[in-house]
Amino acid sequence: MGEGKQRAPLRLDVVSLLPQAFHVLYSLGVIGRAFQAGLAQLYTHNPRDFAPGPYHKVDDSPYGGGAGMVLKPEPIFAAVESIPVYQQRRVLLMCPQGKPFCQADAQRLASHHDQLILICGHYEGYDERIRCLADEELCVGDVVLTGGEIPAMAVINAVLRLRHGTVGQSESLQQESFCHGLLEYPHYTRPRVFRGMGVPEVLCSGDHGAIARWRQAQREHRTRQRRPELLQCPPETMTTAKEHP
């Protein structure tokens, strides 16, 4: 598909006990404008709507005992199975045990899929059988949150900003952090001197070749200093996930 060709809107289906949390996405700058422009469509699905009984119970105590409550499989399965199936869809389970979400994942999801289903957990965790619904499990760091809504919004933000038409100048996406396995170079703007701190002379030289070389050297230096593990992990190795036929 050509770079300038308009793609079909990205369909985003979120399975969450707190669907109202996702309303904030409509007011998040370029992400909100992307929704307004029809570049993506967001649908929320509350498992409680699929739970039987007067209390619409979605959790229960774990077999074998233990603290906390566990999400029941029936409402989650029913919610996911109610969602229309697009040809290029991907089901993502937000889970602290999942693979750390990275820029390469965002690029892959933005480029190769026209539907993302994001399942958000709560309580002590999922009934283990829920995992078979997912194509991959993702987390946003070695941390446990009260639910999967914030990680899901992070994934939506990262993916949608890479879709054609979301960011005004697509060139700005080519040299940012994690592209080609490096962090981004430092940026400066006016004033030229602020509280004794000046702008590097090369950026004011007008020599575009020298500026490009300086920026590349800065990307390598900053990565080596702050995230040396990125230099040992090629971007293509960071996209492994369960593939379905």
Task: State the greatest distance between any 2 C-alpha atoms of the chain, in Å, as a whole number.
Answer: 72
User: What per-residue confidence (pLDDT) applies to 168?
Assistant: 53
What does the angle CA 117 – CA 68 – CA 133 come to, to the nearest 5 degrees? 25
Burial class (CB in 10 A: 0-12, 13-18, 19+), 241: middle
User: What per-residue confidence (pLDDT) applies to 43?
Assistant: 98
Query: Hey, which residues does 89 pair with through a beta bridge?
Result: 115
- Residue located via tokens 């080519």: 174
Report if pTM > 0.75: yes
Boundaries of every domain in the chain: 10-160, 170-238
User: What per-residue confidence (pLDDT) applies to 171?
Assistant: 52
CATH topology classification for 170-238: Trp Operon Repressor; Chain A (1.10.1270)
Q: State pLDDT tens for residues 162-194.
A: 998 887 545 544 545 556 788 999 999 999 999
Which amino acid type is present at position 48?
R
Omega before 191 within 30 of 0, i.e. cis: yes
Q: What is the dihedral sign for C-alpha 19, 148, 122, 39? A: positive
Q: State pLDDT tens for residues 139-169.
A: 999 999 999 999 999 999 999 999 988 875 4
Domain 10-160 in this protein, CATH class: alpha beta
User: What per-residue confidence (pLDDT) applies to 15?
Assistant: 98
User: What per-residue confidence (pLDDT) applies to 238?
Assistant: 39
Contact between 119 and 94 (Cβ < 8 Å): yes
